[in-house]
A and B are shown apart, each in its own frame.
Chain A
């Protein structure tokens, strides 16, 4: 095994160790924040998965919402337990993704971006319009909590945290394997030159839709985790503002490497809490950050790190 690989494994293990110990030293308020942070890691990593083919969407949080609503509906109306509704929520979001990706595929670049906004907004408006079953503008409340497993009550923050940590680690691991696989490489090849890819027989459309559906699936899982923690969801949580937040994480972190967006979420979550004293000035601060990064550091923070990383000899920073 190469030096790089050994160091990476040690790094990840250390990170997991820290994450496992952290909640015991933090106040409950911060544990809740960490739970949301872990959910957002799934969200942002799945976004990046889709973006590796070059498709930047504006509907990703809506797909998270699809998973949230699906899980909530299944739990409330059928009484199914979380371990059932969560993967089904992912599947539901994946199916929604499948339904919308084929028309979207006919567009590229900015057209794709805005078309995904249009389709996403339409779905969100459906949730707003129909009180049954979605609860209309007020959304859904009294979503069942995850319940108990023997002596462990997942209503408590720490147990939920560890459950989320395991699920997040699993999802991230799967997405990482896919990123490193032949399929992941094909995604990147498509991004670089989709016409060349087509000419040697790569069915670009098929790969783009696969990335989209896969990303939607994981967004759905994140949605389920959110719904059962908050016990209430509403359409405004999945709107354009939230989507722009997701874009901030992605822009701040960078998308060239797998870890980039995770760095973005981590930094922005930290900043979000740290700047709480700013109160109502906070959005201005984040707007300025977004603008600043796009103009001065479009590669994100990861591009800074790669400049110093000793194992990135071959990579050229553009």
Chain B
């Protein structure tokens, strides 16, 4: 592989890993806290992209503000999903997963009806130009995703380890019964987890909006990737999810560059099957599954 291509691929891998990580941490958190397997997670991502489309491309709001707007917007959708779908099906992982599969259809169809089904590549790129590293050209629009993801993941870490509610969330993920005995409200925790899940998936979609084709179905492929990341990372482990996200980002990008996209997905999926069968605790080895 040529050096330029190699550097390009590395850069793309880091970007991919950043996106995967941002999307997957929310999914891992939701699953860890109360076994909420969110099939509609890809649609949270999709709706985040549409927030940018509506506010930035249509509404003329500055790009960074539009991205930030995605956070509370999709967080609310996450909260609604928890309240209306996950709470009534609590205790039954399969039911929650299937119900959110229904939600996927609802959200995809709604987005299609509201904004049409045509390719929306018309989102103007706010940051033109590219960075030049050893001959490889990497668009600024892509590069900025890396520090954005780092900030977001850092914030999450801080929240989970230094803020009272975040610590309660972690406690709940590790042992819901003990947490309940300590007076932590499970409902508040599940709502919080899904709110974060929505916010993070949404902001990832928002960041990607200028780069990726914005369609109602853009979340579809991401769902399987997100699940691969969460499972390989260890179902309930946030750190594991981040690690797995970057690992998968590299694997996907390199395999796609060297072979093709289908092979990349195959490798990812095979990896997931392998982990589920051989080491269900995933990379980080946490017992919860």
Which stretch (A1-9, A150-158, A160-168, A278-286) binds chain B? A278-286
The size class of the interface chain A forms with chain B is 35 or more
Cα A248 to Cα B94 in complex, Å, equals 13
Min CB distance, B194 to chain A, in Å?
Answer: 15
A251–B266 alpha-carbon span in the complex (Å): 30
B99 within 8 A of A: yes
Check if A295 is an interface residue, CB within 8 A of chain B.
Answer: yes
Shortest distance from the beta carbon of A317 to any chain B beta carbon, whole Å: 17
Say yes or no: B276 contacts A125, CB within 8 Å. Answer: no
A270 at the interface (CB under 8 A from B): no
Cα separation A126 to B97 with both chains bound (whole Å): 26
Residue from the list B85, B94, B276, B278 in contact with A291, Cβ < 8 A: B85
Query: Taking the nearest CB of chain A, how far is it from the CB of B264, in angstroms?
Result: 10
Does B163 count as interface, using CB distance less than 8 angstroms?
no
Query: Which A residues lie within 8 Å of B262 (CB)?
Result: 125, 128-129
Interface residues on B, range: 35 or more
Closest to B223 in A: A240
- List the A side residues contacting B265 at CB < 8 Å: 121, 125
Q: Is the interface of A mostly helix, strand, loop or mixed?
A: helix
Binds A, one of B52-60, B70-78, B267-275: B267-275
> How long is the Cα–Cα vector from A251 to B94 in the complex, in angstroms?
11
User: What separation, in Å, do the CA atoms of A111 and B236 have in the docked complex?
Assistant: 13
Closest to B266 in A: A125
Evaluate contact between B35 and A110: CB separation under 8 angstroms. yes
Compute how far the CA of A117 lies from the CA of B104 in the bound complex, rounded to whole angstroms. 17
Q: Within 8 Å of chain B (Cβ to Cβ): is A11?
A: no
Q: Closest approach, in angstroms, between the C-beta of A275 and any C-beta of chain B?
A: 12
Residue B237 CB within 8 A of the other chain: no
Residues in chain B near residue A288, CB distance under 8 A: 102, 106
A25-33, A99-107, A301-309 - interface stretch: A99-107
Known A-B contacts A122-B269, A291-B85; A284 and B109 likewise in contact (beta carbons under 8 Å): yes
Q: Does A262 contact B (CB under 8 A)?
A: no
1/0 contact trace for B269-288 toward A, CB 8 Å?
11011001110100000000
**CB of B142 to closest CB in A, whole Å:** 27
Pairs A–B under 8 Å by Cβ, sample size 13:
A107-B280, A109-B93, A109-B94, A114-B227, A118-B228, A125-B262, A125-B269, A129-B263, A281-B109, A290-B102, A294-B99, A295-B85, A295-B99
Chain B residues within CB distance 8 Å of chain A: 35, 37, 85, 88-89, 92-95, 97-99, 101-106, 108-110, 112-113, 224, 227-228, 231, 260, 262-263, 265-266, 269-270, 272-273, 276-278, 280, 289
- Interchain residue pairs A-B with the least CB separation, the first 6: A287-B105, A290-B102, A284-B109, A118-B273, A287-B106, A287-B102
